[in-house]
Amino acid sequence: MERSTTILVVCSIVLPVLFMVSTMYRNSISDLFGTLSKAKFLTRKVQNVAELEIDDKNGLVNPVFDERTCFSRFQSNLYRKISPQKPSPYLISKLRSYEDLHKYCGPHTESYNRTLKRLDSKNITSTNCKYIVWIPANGLGNRIISIASSFLYALLTNRVLLINHGTDMDDLFCEPFPNTSWLLPKDFPLKNQFASSKLRYAHSLGSLLKSSATINNSKELKSPSFLYLNLGHGDYDLDQAFYCNQTQQALQKIPWLFLLSDQYFAPSFFLDPPFKQEASKLFPEKETVFNHLGNYLFNPSNQAWGLITRFYQAYLAKADEKIGLQIRVFNVNATPFERVMDQILSCTMQEKLLPEVDTKKESLPSPSKNPILKAILITSLYPEFYENISNMYWTRPTVNGEVIEVYQPSHEEYQHFGDNMHNMKAWAEIYLLSLSDVLVISSWSTFGYVAQGLGGAKAWILSKPGHRNPPCQRAISMEPCFHFPPRYNCSSKNKIDSGDLAPYLRHCEDRRGGIKLVKDQEELQQ
């Protein structure tokens, strides 16, 4: 009996101790794997513990989000340098208010269903929810900059932005607004008519202005239940009307606006009296519009984030410097690859963006224990530029002994419209470019504009092939270019040059007729 009692006493002491040791061991193993996992995941040197904290993008991210639904929203700080561009408190407040509005008015809510019933109504009554439905045009870069512009318009007019994209944009981006969706429901009544000429022209603002009293006659426009706004480059029928104060007052009464655009028309809101003051409060630093809105709206989906992070970890993570080259050839038949290649080398060598190679036949690489590693990321539809640059650094050492690695994720040969995987690769490449330390982009390319804006840096913009003086120039701001801005003054009814109307607007580097937002005069002189 005493022996049994002794055994029980010993067990009562030993078993808890063994359990504690076992638990500590399991936790230590778990912590070890967690540490190893995080160490493997990290792709830049961590200077302090604070850098491991979840990134809220300076307040842009709503803390209610679940990290698992969108890893990129919280992990991008592990790949991107901490941005010095801070969003204004007013912008953060406006975004939180918008998120509440979107949740209240979003798809299939009671408010949405009630407003939807008025789509065919001829008698417009007041409603708490008004919508702007974005309709895609052209390639992914055009779509991203036009969505950002449309969202700014939604913020300025208290509308809810809904995205009508086809299957070629499935699962590219995470849902940007918590507990709701920004996707236009598939059962939307007019969804299949967006491409029809009847809807696009008969119900357009241009047609309304012609059939009703025009703004020039200072008479009130009639208010239909929906209206089609064409801000696309190919059919720009709103150049003299959309941005005028009286037109905007009339549009406020219309519940549904369908907007098609391939342009970055955000700069126009900093010119027009209806929006100028509010837009300036949201963005005191004018050149940060796309940087903030882009990083808020366009977080890669988990599938896209997998493509991005796997490529980055495999090829770019160890590099001391990452150089991005975005090469777009608009007219392949009229532009020899050799001419484009000469343009690229003239730019990158003249500005010391790429390392020089030693052309002496007897040269050998200088031995070094810790050579500088530079990774060149090339994005292009064609493989020729990768092959030329890769061969250049393979056959000759660099003058300074740097080790050069050249990569190109894909070469699709031509732009595949309607292809979801093509757009997925394009989105991954845009994002990878935005992680570059040095970025060179092509003239007129919205692909490059997006990479520059997301990265929050000023790229070097290549001149058009054949225009060698200079071969490239540094961007005056990180904003995209508005290629076709309005040229009409609503008050004087005269033609204007939008690039001369405000100190924070300048003509684009790659298109004289275009305009872009800049920070201020002092920045331009640096």
Sketch the domain layout of the chain as residue ranges.
89-297, 302-524
CA-to-CA separations, 392 to 148, 300, 357, 361, in angstroms, rounded: 39, 34, 8, 14
Average pLDDT on 405-425 reads 80
- From 38-52, 87-101, 438-452, 465-479, the region with the lowest mean pLDDT: 38-52
Q: Which of 38-42, 54-58, 504-508 ranks highest by mean pLDDT?
A: 504-508
Helix axes 289-297, 140-157, angle to 10 degrees: 100
pLDDT in tens, 42-97: 333 333 323 334 456 678 888 888 888 899 998 998 898 877 889 999 999 999 99
Residue 206 has pLDDT above 80, yes or no: no
* Predicted confidence band of residue 389 (pLDDT cuts 50, 70, 90): very high
Q: What is the C-alpha separation between 347 and 278, in angstroms, rounded?
A: 40
> Checking DSSP bridges between strand 438-441 and strand 321-326, what pairing results, if any?
parallel
Tell me the CB-side half-sphere exposure of residue 310, using CA atoms within 13 A. 9
- The pLDDT, as a whole number, for residue 44 is 33
**205, 237 Cβ separation under 8 angstroms:** yes
Spatial separation of the C-alpha atoms in residues 428 and 306, rounded to whole Å: 9
- Extract the tokens encoding 111: 């408010």
**Do 168 and 420 contact (CB within 8 A), yes or no?**
yes
Higher pLDDT: 458 or 246? It is: 458
**Range 354-359, long-range pairs (CB < 8 A, 24+ positions):** 354/323, 354/389, 355/393, 355/398, 355/399, 355/400, 355/402, 355/404, 356/398, 356/399, 356/400, 357/392, 357/393, 357/396, 357/397, 357/398, 357/399, 358/396, 358/397, 358/398, 358/399, 359/396
Fold for the domain defined by 302-524: Rossmann fold (3.40.50)
1 pLDDT more than 60? no
Q: Give the per-residue pLDDT at 127.
A: 78
Kindly tell me if the per-residue pLDDT of 10 is higher than 50: no
Q: Are β-strands 460-462 and 472-474 bridged in parallel, bridged antiparallel, or unpaired?
A: antiparallel
pLDDT of residue 434: 97
- 27 versus 77: which is more confidently predicted? 77
| Position 413 pLDDT exceeds 60 | no
For the stretch 140-157, pLDDT in tens is 999 999 999 999 999 999
What digits encode the pLDDT tens for the residues 267-310?
A: 999 987 779 999 999 999 999 999 999 999 999 999 999 999 99
Quote the Cα angle for 267-273-278, to 5°: 70
Q: What is the structure's pLDDT at 47?
A: 33
CA distance 515 to 235: 19
**Sign of the alpha-carbon torsion through 73, 93, 125, 148:** negative
Beta strands in 113-225 (DSSP E): 131-135, 160-163
**Which has more confidence, 220 or 442?**
442
Highest mean pLDDT: which of 8-17, 406-415, 422-431? 422-431
Q: Is the pLDDT of residue 41 over 60?
A: no
**pLDDT for residue 30:** 30
Residue 520 binned pLDDT confidence (cut-offs 50, 70, 90) = low
**In the block, which residue shows the tokens 């509308």?**
159
CA distance 328 to 392: 21
Between 479 and 208, whose confidence is greater? 479
Laid out side by side, the sheet with 131-135 consists of: 160-163, 131-135, 256-260, 226-230
pLDDT band at 422 (very low <50, low <70, confident <90, very high): confident
66-80, 122-136, 235-249, range with greatest mean pLDDT: 66-80
Mean pLDDT across the chain: 82
Asked if the model's pLDDT at residue 311 lies above 60, the reply is yes
- Residue 415's pLDDT band (cuts 50, 70, 90): low
| SS3 of 446-471 | HHHHHHHHHHCCCCEEECCCCCCCCC
Residue 167: pLDDT band (50, 70, 90) is: confident
For residue 343, is pLDDT > 50?
yes
